[in-house]
Amino acid sequence: MKKIWNELYNAAKAVQNEREVSDKIYAGGVGAAVESSSGKIYVGVCIDTLCTLGICAERNAIFNMITNGENQIKRVIAVMPDGKSGAPCGACREFMAQLMPNKYQNIEIMLDYDNEKIVKLGELTPEWWI
């Protein structure tokens, strides 16, 4: 496995801090890291709310990247509460596809860190906006 995946995994784990922010908001169960085209790593955590105003860790990390002036993603990893990695949800996939409409297919996604299973977003979302 490329060293960058270890760095991404560790960065996502480092921001994971499960906690109750208020009696209506829970944060940090999932941590995510994205590597931008410049090679910089951006992180984010999920923020779950009693309504639909929360955000996934992957989009939070991508928003962090955009806030810092970048808009091209190379790699994404999401680390679940049990320490395993998982696939981005449909909303996160859609956001990445809209962010990089002509290049999203090549974004690498770590599906299974323990077994080093990596796929490209184009494999998970092959027919975006037919």
Beta-carbon count within 10 A of 35 CB: 24
3-state SS class at 122: helix
- CA–CA gap between residue 60 and residue 3 (Å, rounded): 23
| pLDDT digits 0-9 by tens, 64-106 | 999 999 999 999 999 999 999 999 999 999 999 999 999 999 9
Residue 23: pLDDT over 70: yes
| pLDDT digits 0-9 by tens, 25-53 | 999 999 999 999 999 999 999 999 999 89
Specify the pTM.
Answer: 0.94
The structure tokens listed for 31 are 């941590």
